[in-house]
Amino acid sequence: MGESSSKRYASADEAVIGFLKAYQEKSQNELKEYGAVVYRKRGEYFLGKTHIGVEGSVIGIFLEALNPFKPGRTIGTIHTHPQEIPRAFGTDSKANSFSGMDAVLPGIRYLGAPNGAIYKSVKNRKPNTVIFEGLAKAPNNTMDVKVFGNTKFWAELFFRVKLSFRRLRRSRKTEKQKKK
C-alpha cells in the first residue's frame, strides 16, 4: 500500500485521470488491480493511499472508504481492471464495465478499463459514462470504447463463491499430497 499523495486537483475526474495515468499500465503488466479513494476538502480533490490488490479485487479501497477517520469527504473510488475477461455475467463488456461486486463501493465509481478508457458510474442503475480515452490498453484488448452494461451482482456472487470453494478444495488436495 503506497503513501497518500499531497497533490490537489480541481475536480474528482482530474484526480482520477492523474491516478490512472500513473498506474494503469503497471496494473496491466502486473495483472493486479490498483485503486484509491477520492476525497474532497475545502473545494479541492485529492487521493488516499494507493492500494494494490489481486486480479479480481482490490479490497483495500473498500476498507479505506469505511474508515471513520477520513482526511476529507469521500467522493468515490477508482480501481483498474487489468485485462479482458471473457466471462462476465449479463454483459458483453469483457471487464470494460463495473462488476457486480463494484456496486457496493461507496460514492462515484471510476474504472480504468482494459480498453484504455476511464468509465464513471454515479448511480448503480444509471448508464456509465466515458470521461477519458487513451490510457494504456491491456495486451489482450479487443474491445472498442463504448458504454457497456455492468455485471449482474447475484450471478457474479454465486460464481465467485463457487470458484473460491473450488480453489479451497484444490489447495486441500495439494496439501494432502504433500503430506504423503
Binding residues for Zn ion, rule: CB under 5 A, are 99, 102
Give the shortest CB-79-to-Zn ion separation in angstroms: 6
Residue with cell 481492471: 81
- 158/166 Cα distance (integer angstroms): 12
CB nearer to Zn ion: pick between 72 and 83: 83
Bridge partners of residue 41, in order along the sequence? 44
Give the shortest CB-81-to-Zn ion separation in angstroms: 6
CB nearer to Zn ion: pick between 74 and 151: 151
Torsion of CA 42, 23, 14, 125, to 10 degrees: -100
* HEC-encoded secondary structure of 97-166: CCCCHHHHCCCEEEEECCCCCEEEECCCCCCCEEEECCCCCCCCCCCCCCCCCCCCHHHHHHHHHHHHHH
CB nearer to Zn ion: pick between 129 and 171: 129
CB nearer to Zn ion: pick between 64 and 102: 102
Residue pair 74/65 in contact (Cβ under 8 Å)? The answer is: yes
Give the shortest CB-149-to-Zn ion separation in angstroms: 14
Give the shortest CB-56-to-Zn ion separation in angstroms: 8
- 60/31 Cα distance (integer angstroms): 16
Give the shortest CB-172-to-Zn ion separation in angstroms: 29
